[in-house]
Amino acid sequence: MRARTATTMAVLTALTLTVPALAASPALAAPAATASWTDDVTAPAGFVGMSPTRVLDTRTANTPYHTGFTPLGPGEYYHAVVDVVPHEATAVVVNVTATNPTATGYLSLGPTSRPEVGAPGTSSLNFTPGQTVSNLVTVALGQDSVRPFISAYNSAGTTDVVLDVVGYYVPGATDKYAPLHPTRIADSRTDGTGRLGSFATRSIQVARPELGDQDARAVVLNVTATDGTANSFLTVYPTGTARPSEGSNVTVPVRRDVANQVVVPVGADGKIDIYNHLGSVNVIVDLLGYYGPSGTGLFQALKTPVRLNDTRTTGFKMTGPTEMGLGIEMDPKGVGAEVNVTATNADSAGHLTVFPSTAGWNVPNTSTLNYAPGQTVANSVTTGLDKDITAFSMVNSGGPADVITDLTGYFTTG
């Protein structure tokens, strides 16, 4: 295995997406691992949102220390410099995209490049040959004494990797996290707005007093694309600003539901814009939380993400509601958690919904990820916690499916 290094680069104006039909066999999730806890976490930090900024695209010629136009190889760690954030930043929020993979496998992001330890124990996204897939990942930053970095590990075959930074955590930042009971705020199938067409943009009011996020500076959303007529992508950005020339949030395949978490600054009018590149697509937006002066949560990233749960190791697939504890005591009390949820080996199509346990079993009319037989699908989720038992809730709406949950960090009051 090799370690490579990449620096920030100017790249293609938009991510060209090719999304063929999924392979019949399910993609691989990361190896099963026993849940464990580590106290090796970053300092509590507030959030700073930013316009999507590309720091890596292995399809381009500008890849120092390595021949250009070369994807990640099997078992390879890529050491990617993230010098678009301050040196004192503790963690970064990045949209990671795998494209042109030649095998079934997964990517795992982390703060270290250590080929000698083998494969990481957690995964960030899953892919099948020829597929383009994205996921939002929050990960602790490593420091090489000069510049902050993250590493990307590829489990199998070769795949191109694209990293777009959308925000970061830094001590002293004034915007803090506030969880909300997930609420559906837009659904083009039912709210009269209709499908979003080619090269079209739609504005959505996300900061509203009745939602409790009127002072939001950035919002945490789950954006779902469904019934797309072309291979495309969605880009989400604040109103009143120019659409980013590069970077995307949701990969849109033809006629398949796909969701991705989105963290985006809010425009001065309390709105965000959603742009669709090609074809037409229905867009669903769920509000999960926000960052602002009234928030209380400071983020602490795990320097080594841990696997909380893997139903493949228990022999019992998830069939209904469950409560997921972090397995730790928090002092001060926990506010929220950052987890990566993966569904695989599904018996039939369905979706998972993650929400704060403080809501009891008041299940929201929202979704976290959509799955179907033969698919392995991952999505990041930022969720509130029941402060007394340090837990969140999850509901499976469809047939039995294996569910894997990885913890990448948590929010406390400081």
pLDDT (0 to 100) of residue 298? 97
**What is the pLDDT, as a whole number, of residue 326?**
87
Residues 341 and 233 in one domain: no
The answer to the question of residue 377 being in a domain is: yes
Residue that terminates a domain, selected from 292, 323, 347: 292
Domain range for 203: 176-292
Q: How large is the average pLDDT for residues 281-294?
A: 98
DSSP 111: S
The verdict on residue 30 lying in a domain is no
User: Given a cut of 60, is residue 241 above it in pLDDT?
Assistant: yes
The more confident residue out of 173 and 5 is: 173
* Identity of residue 195: R
| Structural domain ending residue among the three candidates 146, 170, 194 | 170
What was the pLDDT predicted at 377?
Answer: 94
List pLDDT tens digits, range 31-42: 544 444 445 899
Q: Retrieve residue 98's tokens.
A: 């795998």
378 in the same domain as 252:
no
Residue 306 inside a domain? The answer is yes
Which residue among 170, 186, 210 closes a domain?
Answer: 170
* Beta-bridge partners for 284: 187, 224
| Short-list 385, 369, 395, 379, CA closest to 326 | 385
Strand, helix or coil for residue 271: strand
Residues 88, 223 within the same domain: no
CB atoms within 10 A of CB 111: 22
Tell me, yes or no, whether 244 lies in a domain: yes
pLDDT at 227 over 70: yes
Q: Kindly state whether residues 200 and 302 are assigned to the same domain.
A: no
Burial class (CB in 10 A: 0-12, 13-18, 19+), 359: middle
Neighbours of 399 (CB within 10 A): 15
- pLDDT higher than 50, residue 223: yes
Same-domain pairing of 16 and 119: yes
CATH code of the domain containing 188: 2.60.120
> Do 9 and 134 share a structural domain?
yes
Is residue 29 domain-resident?
no
Q: Measuring CA to CA, how many Å separate 207 from each of 241, 290, 362?
A: 17, 9, 23
Residue 270: both structure tokens together: 């309390």
**One domain, residues 17 and 166:** yes
Q: Once rounded to an integer, what is the mean pLDDT over residues 226-245? A: 95
Assign 320 a pLDDT band (cuts: 50, 70, 90): confident
Tell me: do 10 and 101 sit in the same domain. yes
> Are residues 273 and 128 part of one domain?
no
SS3 44: coil
Q: Which residues fall within 8 angstroms of residue 21, CB to CB, at 6 or more apart?
A: none
pLDDT, one tens digit per residue, over 362-379 is 899 999 999 999 999 999
DSSP 281: B
Question: Is residue 403 situated within a structural domain?
Answer: yes
Q: What is the arithmetic mean of pLDDT over 268-285?
A: 97
Asked if 303 and 404 sit in the same domain, the reply is yes
Confidence of residue 51 (pLDDT cuts 50, 70, 90): confident
Residues 312 and 279 in one domain: no
* Confidence label for 339 from pLDDT (cuts 50, 70 and 90): very high
8 and 136: one domain? yes
Cβ atoms 9, 62 nearer than 8 A? yes
Residue 160 pLDDT more than 90?
yes
Cα maximum dimension of the chain: 55
Instruction: Give the Cα separation of 243 and 169 in Å (integer).
Output: 23
CB–CB of 401/317 below 8 Å? yes
CA atoms in the 13 A half-sphere facing the CB of 66: 23
Q: What is the pLDDT of residue 8?
A: 30
- Whether 49 is in a domain gets the answer yes
The DSSP annotation for 203-226 comes to EEE---GGGT-TT-SEEEEEEEEE
Assess if residue 339 is contained within a domain: yes
Six token digits for residue 373: 């037989």
Count the neighbouring beta carbons within 10 Å of the beta carbon of residue 199.
Answer: 8
User: In the predicted model, what is the mean pLDDT of the chain?
Assistant: 87
Q: Is 337 left (phi over 0), alpha (psi -120 to 50) or beta?
A: beta
Q: For the chain, how many structural domains are there in total?
A: 3
Is the pLDDT score of 319 beyond 50? yes
d(CA 230, CA 228) in angstroms, rounded, equals 6
Helices (H), 264-336: none
Q: Which residues, other chains included, contact 366 with Cβ-Cβ below 8 Å and sequence gap of 6+?
A: 182, 183, 184, 222, 286, 288, 353, 355
Q: How far apart are CA 378 and CA 405, in angstroms?
A: 9
